[in-house]
Amino acid sequence: MNFTYPEGATPLEYEELLQLIPPHITTQTELNLWEQNNILLAERWAFKKKQILSAEFVQKLHQKMFDKTWKWAGQYRHSEKNIGIKWPYISIEVKKLCDDVLYQIQHQSYSLEEIAVRLHHRLVWIHPFPNGNGRHARLVADFMVLQHEYPRFSWGRNQGVGSDLYHATPVREQYIKALRQADQHDYSFLIEFARS
């Protein structure tokens, strides 16, 4: 099977590709659809959860999102990618991130939405998993605002046709650009993008 990767995506290692669960999938489109269905099941599971700011939840959510797709669902990376921290530090950094976010909420360090967007960025920056990091970290941020009775983020979906983040669309370009601004500690573009 040939996979296509838009700008800002992390290509999979050959060994990771061998761990695809459904044997009948042969195209990228089929895989995308299969993953989307898997993710919907995870959303249903996660909406009932009370405590989402823990390393356990973060890992379990990824597992639920991809457990019918990849054998490495919910497992932290064991290889370096073109983005992300060095893999041996993932576990400790995810824990630190959750603790920091709990502290920020308690002390109202930023607005709640800004805390969620910063959480999203730091999680994709860590890049805990071999794949699915963008979708996973968007969902984590979504659940955080939902728990505080804010509407779920739209991540560019209100911009109309071709606004999906999975293909090389102009909206995805905006998203990646906003993440790169956030890499430079300017979160304003990403905050705006999350509600666009």
Ligand X SMILES: Nc1ncnc2c1ncn2[C@@H]1O[C@H](COP(=O)(O)OP(=O)(O)O)[C@@H](O)[C@H]1O
Could you list the residues that contact ligand X (CB under 6 A)? Answer: 8-10, 83, 124-125, 131-135, 176, 179-180, 183
Q: How far is the CB of 75 from ligand X (least distance, A)?
A: 13
Please, is 129 exposed, middle or buried when counting C-beta atoms within 10 Å of its C-beta (0-12, 13-18, 19+)?
buried
Nearest to ligand X of 8, 156 (CB atom):
8
- Binding partner of residue 125 among ligand X, Mg ion, none, CB under 5 to 8 Å per kind? ligand X
Q: How far is the CB of 131 from Mg ion (least distance, A)?
A: 5
Q: How far is the CB of 154 from ligand X (least distance, A)?
A: 15
- Binding partner of residue 110 among Mg ion, ligand X, none, CB under 5 to 8 Å per kind? none
Nearest to ligand X of 110, 166 (CB atom):
166
- Binding partner of residue 133 among Mg ion, ligand X, none, CB under 5 to 8 Å per kind? ligand X
Alpha-carbon span 78 to 61, nearest angstrom: 19
Nearest to ligand X of 105, 190 (CB atom):
190
- Binding partner of residue 139 among ligand X, Mg ion, none, CB under 5 to 8 Å per kind? none
> Cβ distance 126 to 84 under 8 Å?
yes
Q: Which residue's Cβ lies closest to ligand X? A: 134
SS3 string, the chain, reads CCCCCCCCCCCCCHHHHCCECCCCCCCHHHHHHHHHHHHHHHHHHHCCCCCCCCHHHHHHHHHHHHCCCECCCCCCCCCCCCCCCCHHHHHHHHHHHHHHHHHHHHCCCCCHHHHHHHHHHHHHHHCCCCCCHHHHHHHHHHHHHHHCCCCCCCCCHHHCCCCCCCCCCHHHHHHHHHHHHHHCCCCHHHHHHHCC
Nearest to Mg ion of 9, 65 (CB atom):
9
Q: How many residues does the chain have?
A: 196
Q: How far is the CB of 125 from ligand X (least distance, A)?
A: 5
Nearest to Mg ion of 69, 131 (CB atom):
131
Q: How far is the CB of 149 from ligand X (least distance, A)?
A: 25
- Binding partner of residue 180 among ligand X, Mg ion, none, CB under 5 to 8 Å per kind? ligand X
